Amino acid sequence: MIKAGIIGGAGYTAGELIRLLIHHSKVDINFVFSTSNAGNNVSKIHQDLIGSTELEFSSKINPDVDVLFLCLGHGNSKSFLEENSFSHATKIIDLSNDFRLTKDEVLNGKTFIYGLPELNKEAIKQSIYIANPGCFATAIQLALLPLAEAKLLKDDVHVNAVTGATGAGTSLSTTTHFTWRDNNFSHYKAFTHQHLGEINQTVNQLQSDFNSDINFMPNRGNFSRGIFATLYTKYDGTLEDAKALYSKFYRDAAFTFISDEDIHLKQVVNTNKCFLHLHKHEDKLLVTSIIDNLLKGASGQAVQNMNLMYGFKETEGLQLKANYF
C-alpha cells in the first residue's frame, strides 16, 4: 500500500479524490489537510462519504507520504510547494493550472509532466511530478489529438462547450447560485478561457505547423456536473477515414472511446470515461466530446496518472458506472 496525502481537502475535486482513494486497493489515505476544517470528520464536509470513512481533516502535513495530491485553487500550488518541503521520493500530482504550461513546468528543480495519459503515457510512467490537465482542456484535446498527430488541422477550429456548476468550485458567486443557474444558460470568457494555453500547447506539440485559431466558447449549463463539447474544422477525408484515424489513435486508451451513436452526458457522469462521436457535413468534421468534469476532468484523471506512475493497472479504482438513469 502507498500512503497518500491530500492538500486542500474541502473542495469538490478533493471530495471526489477521497471517494476514489478510499476504495482503491493500493492506497491508504495518510492525511487530508485543511486548516479551516482541522479536527472535523471528512464526512462533515463531503456528506456523501458518511459511513464510508472515519478520516478527519488534519492541520499537519506528513512530508514523507508516497504521493501528494494538490487540490488547491489556481495560483496556490506553487506558493505551497515553495513554503513546504517533501521527501525526494514523494510523487506530486497538482490539480491546478500552475504547472501545465511549458514556461511554468519547472519549480526548484522539479519538472512537471503534463498529465494527459492519451498524449504522454510513457512520460507519466517515468515521472515524479504531474500537472493534471484542466477539465475543458481534457475534453477538447481528446477531440483534437488524432487530427493533430496526423497533421490534418489546416484551418480554424471552432469549439462550443458547456460545463456544469461544479466546474466553478464550491465558493458561491452570482453565476453559481441556484436561483441564477437554474433554468438559465450563459457563456463566459469568450475566446479567452485559460485552458486555451494548454490546448494550443498540446496541438503544437503534435503539429508544429498549426498556426490557425482555436475559437473557444465556454458556457455555463444548468446541471451539476459534466462537460459537453462540440468542435468542428475543415476536413478533406471521409467520415470512414476519420473514424479509422480516431479508432487507431485510441486503440490502447483505457478510458477514451469512439461511439457510432449520438452521445449524451449521462453516459459519462460519475465515470473516468471520455466518449467521442464523429459527424461529417460537407467539408467539415464535427467532433463531440463528453466527460465528467470532476473525474476525467480532474480527480479521476489524477488517480489514472497515479496508477501509471506506480505501475498499477491503469483502471484501478476507476471502474465506475455512469449515473445513467
145-179 residue pLDDT tens = 999 999 999 999 999 999 998 765 555 566 666 66
Q: Which CATH number fits domain 135-291: 3.30.360.10, 3.30.70.1430, 3.90.930.60, 3.40.50.300?
A: 3.30.360.10
Q: What Å distances lie between residue 29 and 32, 55, 188, CA to CA? A: 8, 8, 37
- What is the grid cell recorded at 100? 501545465
Angle between helices 196-206 and 117-125 (to 10 degrees): 80
pLDDT tens track, the chain, 325 positions = 999 999 999 889 999 999 999 999 999 999 999 988 999 999 999 999 999 999 999 999 999 999 999 999 888 999 999 999 999 999 999 999 999 999 999 999 999 999 999 999 999 999 999 999 999 999 999 999 999 999 999 999 999 999 998 765 555 566 666 666 788 889 988 999 899 999 999 999 999 999 999 999 999 999 889 999 999 999 999 999 999 999 999 999 999 999 999 999 999 999 999 999 999 999 999 999 999 999 999 999 999 999 999 999 999 999 999 988 7
Which pLDDT tens digit goes with each residue over 298-315?
A: 999 999 999 999 999 999
Q: Which of 135, 269, 286, 309 is catalytic?
A: 135
Judge contact between 141 and 133, C-beta under 8 A. Answer: yes
Which of 70, 43, 71, 47 has the alpha carbon at shortest distance from 55? 43
- Give the start-to-end residue ranges of the domains of the chain: 2-132+298-310, 135-291
Judge contact between 143 and 229, C-beta under 8 A. Answer: yes
Active site residue 135: yes
The dotted CATH code for 2-132+298-310 is 3.40.50.720
pTM of the prediction? Answer: 0.95
